[in-house]
Structure 1
């Protein structure tokens, strides 16, 4: 049994389209009156010719366009031969009835419209020519409209495919971050188990809490700075268990930026890099600062550490997966309006600065 959506619905007569076409028909009638007055009739009364043109042309328009819309509708294109027959019959009927109507309205005796006089034959031919011109005009107009509609539909389909491809690429890039962080933490957990089981258990507990907080939010299309900073607090708490007093951190998030929206998991790779390659290899450890600010419509996220720095010989070299991932995600989402820079600090360490368009939000995502 067909559903409601699949049952064909009977379409009513398209009165709005008929009224829209009437504007062009009226204009054509005026042009015909001008042509008859100043070209064919040598300066006869324009008003009388206009009245005759309105009577004959109006009836021809109602018959031709009315039959077309009633029989073939707005969306279907009328077959050529049947529609030519409609034009010929409608033109003859319009010439006869329109001439009679003109004589009645103008109170003028006009020759019998059915008489085969040269004048009647000439006016009938002129009416058919005008109707044919109208047919060509409306056919071209409908064809252009149909092509524009098809082009708009094709553009919408292409944009939909592009959005789906971009979303799939973002999800792939985003999914790379989670196992990267998880494998690093599990490797450290494995090392702690053999010589400090208590700290290993505490690290495992913190890891479970962190994963509970991140696994749902990391798969969202967007999050807020408040949520992102809370996740960084959970992650840094996890790292403090692992590094102890060697790690200190500061999270600086202004209240008016808490609801700002951004892609998830942008800060975590930068903080992880600062710890893994800058602070952890340093004997005395160090301090990491995460800040957020906005200037000129651009949101700036800064991760600054006082670790070994970019080119220190004691620094562990990584795969640059996190940095590459962030840059690719920013390029996909924002193009050249977003960027990530890494610069050495004068006193040692590295400053990672991430800049992207500021997207304020009135709602705040809760963990």
Structure 2
């Protein structure tokens, strides 16, 4: 789309330059004709206007034709020596046939000498020189603009290809892990294996035709994350509890696909799975001015457990995509939790796994608010350990 807009702007720019160029040629011809008209005694101005433009425009046409035939640039002096005499003869003939006569200043020359044709020759030479200068300048500008546009399109294509490669590296990661889990369950628990395959089908249906789009609604990304966490909860059982707490007002915002999912995969792989007693995952979103903040909070092992937590393929790809899409405006941070309390889950005893609907008023709480919510019978998300991964991107 951007390349089409650039091509349209380029075409309009070239068209505008050509119009200005020909207007300038006609004005220059007219000024030369008026200059010669001032040398005559009683002639009207129109014949001089006509003959100067006839000679000048003929010179431009012959010069253009010469460029088409030779396919290479010709110097100004050779061009004048070739084009000017032809332009004078043809221009005089055009004037005579157009208005029935030629100006007396030209007519009195009677083809006697080249000196008598000096005024007409001067008109033709000036027009040829102007045409040559304008033509060469326009050609240089057009060449530079074309090279600039092609370079921009090449950079855009390279960026799109790089982003597609990074995205393709993210997608199979989850798929292969899930298939391995299904394979391990086939013999010892066929029913769970079948249920996991059903959940995988739900995930693939949700992602089909969506992951290849340049942008996706946050609600769609949350649907994919919910499917991923549901599959993981089937495998991990009670060792995984999760919550997706995102206000409805933010769910229609758009973002590049598959930026959030790797953060959830990272929380599962490095936080929840290595922990003997598992843990909890909270996915939240908030708006901060013109920025969207997406957080994945887990109560797993934390940064000290795995030195490669920052350098996995999934997170590396996310950082690379952020840099390509947003430059310094996009940011991914991963920090250890420090005992802060996350967000409200819901009434104690309610089922948490698979519930992706945030209760009214759900938000991140500080410690006093969390204590008050506990006293009121509301379960809170205690992030006293584990990791918070926050994705911060501009809202578009």
TM-score using structure 2 length: 0.69
Structural mapping, 1:242-281, within 5 Å: 242-281=235-274
Structure 1 window deviating more from structure 2 (328-337 vs 79-88): it is 79-88
Q: Distance in 2 between the 1:333 and 1:29 partners?
A: 54
1:57/1:319 Cα in 2 relative to 1: closer, same or farther (>3 Å)? Answer: same
Q: 3-state SS of the aligned residue for 1:245?
A: helix
- Contact 1:63–1:90 (CA under 8 A) maintained in structure 2: yes
Displacement of 1:209 after TM fit?
A: 2.2
Q: Distance in 2 between the 1:202 and 1:95 partners?
A: 91
Q: Distance in 2 between the 1:336 and 1:319 partners?
A: 19
Q: Which residue of 2 aligns with 1:355?
A: 392
1:245-284, CA deviations, whole angstroms, 9 ceiling, x for partnerless residues?
A: 3222222333333232222111111001111211222233
TM-score using structure 1 length: 0.74
**Are positions 1:292 and 2:285 aligned together?**
yes
Structure 2: stretches of 5+ with no match in the other structure: 1-14, 340-384
Structural mapping, 1:111-122, within 5 Å: 113-115=108-110
**Are positions 1:198 and 2:191 aligned together?**
yes
- Contact 2:337–2:388 (CA under 8 A) maintained in structure 1: yes
Displacement of 1:199 after TM fit?
A: 2.5
- Pick one of 339, 344, 351 that aligns with 2:336: 344
- Contact 1:278–1:309 (CA under 8 A) maintained in structure 2: yes
1:123-180, CA deviations, whole angstroms, 9 ceiling, x for partnerless residues?
A: 6303311321121112211222222223222333222222222222111111111221
Q: 3-state SS of the aligned residue for 1:327?
A: helix
Structure 1 window deviating more from structure 2 (191-200 vs 246-255): it is 191-200
Q: 3-state SS of the aligned residue for 1:336?
A: helix
Q: Distance in 2 between the 1:205 and 1:19 partners?
A: 67
Q: Which residue of 1 aligns with 2:87?
A: 87
Q: Distance in 2 between the 1:246 and 1:18 partners?
A: 74
Q: Distance in 1 between the 2:194 and 2:308 partners?
A: 26
Q: Distance in 2 between the 1:116 and 1:198 partners?
A: 108
Q: 3-state SS of the aligned residue for 2:319?
A: helix
- Contact 1:29–1:57 (CA under 8 A) maintained in structure 2: yes
- Pick one of 37, 56, 63 that aligns with 2:48: 56
Q: Which residue of 2 aligns with 1:30?
A: 31
Structural mapping, 1:71-110, within 5 Å: 76=68, 80=79, 83-90=83-90, 93=93
1:94/1:354 Cα in 2 relative to 1: closer, same or farther (>3 Å)? Answer: same
1:117/1:65 Cα in 2 relative to 1: closer, same or farther (>3 Å)? Answer: closer
Displacement of 1:228 after TM fit?
A: 0.5
1:214-243, CA deviations, whole angstroms, 9 ceiling, x for partnerless residues?
A: 243223332211110111111111111112
Matched residue pairs, number?
327
- Pick one of 276, 300, 303 that aligns with 1:307: 300
Q: Distance in 1 between the 2:284 and 2:67 partners?
A: 58
Instruction: Give the alignment's Cα RMSD to 1 decimal.
Output: 3.9
1:76/1:290 Cα in 2 relative to 1: closer, same or farther (>3 Å)? Answer: farther
Q: Which residue of 1 aligns with 2:370?
A: none
Q: Which residue of 1 aligns with 2:209?
A: 216
Q: 3-state SS of the aligned residue for 1:266?
A: coil
Q: Distance in 1 between the 2:311 and 2:208 partners?
A: 23
Q: Distance in 1 between the 2:112 and 2:308 partners?
A: 105
1:279/1:102 Cα in 2 relative to 1: closer, same or farther (>3 Å)? Answer: same
- Contact 2:33–2:48 (CA under 8 A) maintained in structure 1: no
Structural mapping, 1:309-324, within 5 Å: 309-312=302-305, 320-324=312-316
Displacement of 1:93 after TM fit?
A: 5.0
Q: Distance in 2 between the 1:19 and 1:167 partners?
A: 38
- Contact 1:95–1:123 (CA under 8 A) maintained in structure 2: no
- Contact 1:277–1:316 (CA under 8 A) maintained in structure 2: no
- Contact 1:87–1:132 (CA under 8 A) maintained in structure 2: no
